[in-house]
Structure 1
Amino acid sequence: MKDSRVEVVKGDITKQKVDAIVNAANTSLLGGGGVDGAIHRAGGKAILAECIKIRDRQGGCKTGEAVITTGGNLPARYVIHTVGPVWSSVNADKAATLLANAYLNSLKLAAKNGVRTIAFPNISTGIYHFPKQEAAAIAIETVADFLSTDTTISKVLFVCFDDDNYDLYQQRLGNS
C-alpha cells in the first residue's frame, strides 16, 4: 500500500505531535498496563476524569468501539480510546472483525471531531496476543479503506514500540 497520508514510525505514542492518539484501552477505561498505562501516566488526571464520566454514562467501552477524551498533558489534543479483542485460535475470525472495528470506529470518531492527524499503536498485539502479522494487515487494510473515501484525515501514523511491528509495517507499507 502506498499512500502519502500513511506513515510508520518507531517510538513512543505519548510523544507524537498529532491531533489525536489512539489508546489501546480496556473495557473499564480506567487505565492499565502497556500503551494504556503509558498514556494515562503521561496525559495526567484529566484523561482519567473524562474516562470515569464516560464509564458512568455508558458503562465503559465495548470491544471494537471507541470513545474520545482530552489529551490532557499530552502533545495530542485528544485521546481516542478503543478496545481491541483478546485473540485465541478459538475466536480468530471474530477477533479479526473486532480489531478492524477498533480501527474503523477510531477513524470515524476522529473524523467526526475534526481530527486531521492521528497516531495508532499496534492494537491487541501485546498482552491480548493478536498475531502481529495478521494485526498489521488488518490495521493497514482498514485504514486504507477508510482513507479511500474520507478527506478529513490528512495523516495516519502507525507508532510501533518494538522492532517486530516496525519491520512488519515497513514491509507492508512498501517502505523497506
Structure 2
Amino acid sequence: MIDSLQEQNEPQESAGKSARLSHCTDLNAISPPVQEIDSAQVNERMSNLRWGREAKVMARYFLNEELEVIVCLGDITKQEADALVNAANEDLKHSGGVALALSNAGGPEVHIESSALVESYGKIRTGEAVVTSGGKLKCKKLIHAVGPMSGKGDGSEKVLIQKAITSALGLCEIMEFSSIVLPCISSGMCGVPVELC
C-alpha cells in the first residue's frame, strides 16, 4: 500500500489535467530508509490507513517524508484505499485469482463496466492499466493493471510488470489519490515467478 503519491517531479500534461507522473525504472531500487523516522509520525500515518483485519504488515519503506510503501499480507478485497489495483488480463474477464476475488467482492458493476470498456476500446494491452468503479469495494476506483503471461521465454516479464505498475500509479496520480493497494501482478494464474512480481 502506498500512502501518498506526492513526488517532486516535473509536471506533465495528461488529458487536460496537470499531473506529476513518476517513472521508476527499477522497482528493485526501493530500499529501507537510511533516515530515522519519528515513531509519532509513523503512528499518525498508520491511523490514516484502514486495513482489513486479515492484513499483516510485512515490511515498511520510507522513500521520502511523504511517500511510504507498506508491504502487507492479507485479503485485498477487505482493504480500504483511494484505489485498489486488480491484477487483470487483457479481456478484463476476472476469471480467477485476485481478479475474480475483487470482481466478486465489488459486485456486478465491476464486471459490467469491465465488459463495456473492452467492448468500446478493445483488449487492454499488456503493461497498461484502466479504471472502473470499485462497486461495493472500499475504494474510489478499481484500477485494472494488465501484466504478462509467463512462458514467452523472452525475459520481458519484468519490464511489462514494471510498465503495468507505472501505468496504475500514473492513473492514481492523475486522479490525485493518496493511497493505493497493489497486489503482485502476474504472480498467480499468469505463472510469472513471484520474485519478478
TM norm structure 2: 0.65
The 4+ residue runs of structure 1 with deviation greater than 2 A are none
Q: What displacement does 1:134 show?
A: 2.5
Structure 2 matches for 1:20-99, cutoff 5 A?
20-88=83-151, 90-92=153-155, 94-99=156-161
Partners of 1:104 and 1:11 lie apart in 2 by 23
Structure 2 alignment gaps of length 5 or more: 1-30, 33-60, 63-67
Point out the structure with the larger helix share: 1
Q: What CA distance in whole angstroms lies between the structure 2 residues aligned with 1:47 and 1:133?
A: 29
Of the three residues 175, 180, 191, the one matched with 1:113 is 175
Q: Offset of 1:76 from its aligned partner?
A: 1.2
Distance in 2 (CA, whole Å) between partners of 1:28 and 1:89 is: 19
Task: Give the structure with the higher percent strand.
Answer: 2
Aligned residues: 134
Q: What's the counterpart of residue 126 of structure 1?
A: 188
Provide the aligned C-alpha RMSD in A.
1.3
Indicate the percent of aligned positions where both proteins have the same amino acid.
37
Counterparts of 1:110 and 1:22 in 2: how far apart (Å)?
10
- Structure 1, unpaired ranges of 5+: 136-176
Q: How does 1:152-167 map to 2 (within 5 A)?
A: none
TM-score, normalising length from structure 1?
0.72
With a CA cutoff of 8 Å and minimum separation of 6, indicate the structure with the bigger relative contact order.
1
CA shift in 2, pair 1:89/1:47, >3 Å? closer
